[in-house]
Copies of this chain bind each other. A is one copy, B any other.
């Protein structure tokens, strides 16, 4: 029989840090912290297997769970020296979720569980603080009603506000024990009136209600959204942690806090945390009271006393624990602690979320400290997170009118129009506007808006507030706790300290690295790979086997990509060149020509332009390999569609309107994606590819002859489904290429290969390889055809598919390894079986997504190719892949 409950406490634990899949991150780390001797309140963890059994079994618990929980509770009572439901010496517990992946703010928690009208007396006696006891009781009822029973939180909050008003006080803390006692009674009455049942007095009933609520919250919409955004599988499930309560709110010798062992925004090796005296943990995170710093080292303004000053002994103990944790985990930790009557308890540790910037600095620093190896450092940085660093930052030379300053909560720079609600952010983004979401503070209900916005600005909350944590997770620029601004949701405006008014729709710019809020849209500069980033990338390059190329169609893109470390061009699309400037006119003439002569005449006009494009790109790539894909889209993409444009074209080329119109209609296709395009065009009109091959080869010959370049052009023929297509087009290309070489008297090595982007090409790759010097998997089209899913049309239903878990990930973002990947693997192996020296890469957008890059490494491809700005991501992912091989 499975073991469902794992104990921890008194320096011993059933579980361990490595068991996060089973125990969740929190449970695993509580067990680990207990084992390494840190002061952790005892408790036990219900495993994630219980969660999955619960859902598989129509929301019923597995047999035997009840007995295991009861026996664990017995041990917990002994360790805490208290009794669950004992009126004299009651044990109170917290019930918290803890999934294998950190999901901040997503799951629900119930504290102070075990309180009822009997046990409250024991708490009063034990704490000698009736106010604290009743405050705990009313908090418990509020949380239970809301979290377990789904009762609207405002109902009880309103009673609390009315009480404060009646007593003429502002703060909760100003209410007396009796006031709070009355509130408890009023809360229970309201509970009964709303839910039509009594508030449960039985601690057992409370416990199972809370456990059920945690498991139930795994499927709440916020959790579903978070999982979707972070690609967390629905079947991981959550664990539940039941832990003896300790109290940070039992007086001024109590406190609660959260800290990072290093700065999570910059990565600086500096103990970074916030705490509140006489408070429970939720108070710090929720941003209701502005928290105080734990030390003075870097404290802004200095108007609040630090823990180091107020509680020097506990601070010293915490610093020691920080050291133990970093030595033990060898990574930056995100911790929660509580001080009860001067005694420090660790409530949680977990690997801290950090910005990409911080991730790199921490990794590089830890190598320098001897904590981890270079390999570990490389593995420590999530390749996809680098995306954050590959966006523009503010131009240091630009003029800036700073209108406010807040905390630099998540770095990067963003400009956009101000909006004041998550829904508005989402709506405006759909309308292609760039927006900055401005909120007093954010809550989990705002996640969709944060996701939509370019940046987030909050008036309240610290560096560990919801807004800050979530924004960093999203790699999104955020300025938090900006007390300089007052927000009026009703009037939809914000007012700065200097009295400046910013209305909805006005543009502002955030600098997440300085905390500055700036008027208007400030110019930005391109990112670059330097400093620690460059160091880390150089280590990555030491380990990786997979080459990284780029998809670039212009000399400018080629240059950017080279600076980011691209080792060649894997996909140079030539159709963009057909659209540029006055070329489109010649292209249209070619399409409208009724015969070969007319087409050739038009192509002759395009030839010199294409040639100069290729010269520019070859020069920029300085001898690195360049794969050029011949014309791919269907011809109708080059023709105008509206009658006005058709008429204009008819005038321009001197053909009757009706004739042009007829041409346009004749070229219409029901499914252009599956139509007359790619190599199929060249079978019909070989002269088009002939011109392109001529341009490529003339460009190469001139550079080789006149500038001493070494170039091996790679000519790529798209959309092959049958080897015969390639056989014919290869022969044509060879004929043209050889005649150009002869004309220039230059010997050029060139390769002719093909995209593998249709299932049939992968299935018959052994035959196709007979005619190909290289393969490049076009995984965009291969995904479309393998799924039978048009990317242009999937918007109607694909988001819904992801939302509902039908598909775990968007297959156009992360390569579908089981389906599309199976074809890639098959195509690769069949190709190599025919031609062992076949060069093979991929050039779909998956080439810049880490899980896809790792897959490409695993199956043995030579290279991936991706957009210039994703080259570092691919380099790092390739290193991860190589290092994973070693395990």
A interface, CB within 8 angstroms of B? 669-676, 680, 683-684, 719, 721-722, 724-725, 728, 757-760, 763-764, 767, 781, 784-790, 792-793, 796-797, 800-801, 804-807, 816, 818-820, 822-823
Contact = CB atoms under 8 A, between A and B. Distances in A.
Contact of A801 (B683, B788, B807, B818): B683
Contacts of A819: 721-722, 759-760, 763-764
Nearest to A757: B788
Given A671-B673, A683-B797, A820 B788 contact: no
Contact of A759 (B670, B767, B786): B786
Given A674-B790, A758-B788, A800 B763 contact: no
B796 A675 contact: yes
B674 A806 contact: no
A820 B805 CA distance: 30
Contact of A763 (B672, B683, B822): B822
Contacts of A764: 818-819, 822
Given A676-B796, A785-B759, A670 B790 contact: yes
B785 A670 contact: no
A234 to B, nearest CB: 10
Contacts of A763: 786, 818-819, 822-823
A787 B676 CA distance: 12
B797 A680 contact: yes
A784 B804 CA distance: 28
A806 to B, nearest CB: 5
B786 A676 contact: no
28 contacts: A669-B790, A669-B792, A669-B796, A670-B673, A670-B790, A670-B792, A670-B793, A671-B674, A673-B788, A674-B674, A674-B784, A674-B785, A674-B790, A680-B797, A684-B796, A721-B786, A721-B819, A722-B807, A722-B819, A724-B805, A724-B807, A728-B804, A728-B806, A758-B786, A758-B788, A759-B759, A760-B787, A760-B816
Contacts of A674: 671, 673-674, 784-785, 788-790, 793
Contacts of A722: 806-807, 819
Contacts of A788: 673-674, 719, 721, 757-760, 781, 785
Given A674-B674, A759-B786, 16 more contacts: A669-B792, A670-B793, A671-B671, A671-B790, A671-B793, A675-B790, A676-B796, A676-B797, A680-B797, A683-B800, A684-B797, A721-B788, A760-B786, A760-B816, A764-B819, A764-B822
Nearest to A674: B790
A757 B797 CA distance: 19
A721 B811 CA distance: 12
A793 B675 contact: yes
Which of A788, A796, A800, A805 has most chain B Cβ within 10 Å? A788
A673 B801 CA distance: 18
Contacts of A789: 674, 721
Nearest to A805: B724
A846 to B, nearest CB: 15
A725 B806 CA distance: 6
Contacts of A804: 683, 728
Contacts of A669: 790, 792-793, 796
Given A669-B793, A670-B790, A800 B684 contact: yes
Nearest to A807: B722
A714 to B, nearest CB: 22
A801 B784 CA distance: 24
- Which of the listed residues A670, A722, A759 has the most CB atoms from chain B within 10 Å of its own CB? A759
Contacts of A818: 763-764, 767
A719 B787 CA distance: 9
A731 to B, nearest CB: 13
Contacts of A673: 670-671, 674, 788, 790
Contacts of A822: 763-764
Contacts of A758: 786-788
Given A759-B785, A786-B759, A823-B759, A792 B724 contact: no
A819 B788 CA distance: 16
Contacts of A672: 670-671, 793
Contacts of A675: 790, 793, 796
Contacts of A759: 759, 785-786, 788, 819, 823
B760 A806 contact: no
A760 B785 CA distance: 9
A782 B151 CA distance: 52
B760 A671 contact: no
A849 to B, nearest CB: 19
A720 B787 CA distance: 9
A805 B823 CA distance: 27
Given A764-B818, A793-B676, A787 B670 contact: no
Contacts of A797: 676, 680, 683-684
A801 B683 CA distance: 8
A759 B763 CA distance: 10
Give the residue among A676, A725, A800 with the most B Cβ atoms within 10 A: A676
A47 B784 CA distance: 47
Contacts of A680: 797
Contacts of A806: 683, 722, 724-725, 728
Contacts of A801: 683
A302 B785 CA distance: 66
Contacts of A719: 788
A535 B719 CA distance: 49
A636 to B, nearest CB: 11
A675 B791 CA distance: 9
A322 B478 CA distance: 97
Nearest to A728: B806
A820 B759 CA distance: 9
- What are the 3 tightest A-B residue pairs by CB atom distance, in nearest-first order? A674-B790, A671-B790, A760-B819
A683 B801 CA distance: 8
Contacts of A757: 788
A767 B784 CA distance: 20
Nearest to A822: B763
A788 B760 CA distance: 8
Contacts of A721: 786-789, 819
Nearest to A795: B676
A818 B764 CA distance: 7
A788 B784 CA distance: 9
Contacts of A792: 669-671
A177 to B, nearest CB: 53
A735 to B, nearest CB: 14
A772 to B, nearest CB: 16
A539 B752 CA distance: 54
Contacts of A800: 683-684
A664 to B, nearest CB: 14
A178 B711 CA distance: 74
A720 to B, nearest CB: 10
Contacts of A787: 721, 758, 760
A816 B823 CA distance: 18
Contacts of A786: 721, 758-760, 763, 785
A364 to B, nearest CB: 41
Nearest to A669: B793
A754 B569 CA distance: 42
Nearest to A758: B788
A806 B676 CA distance: 15
Nearest to A760: B819
Max chain B C-beta neighbours (<10 A), residue from A669, A781, A807: A669
A724 B616 CA distance: 49
A682 to B, nearest CB: 11
Nearest to A679: B806
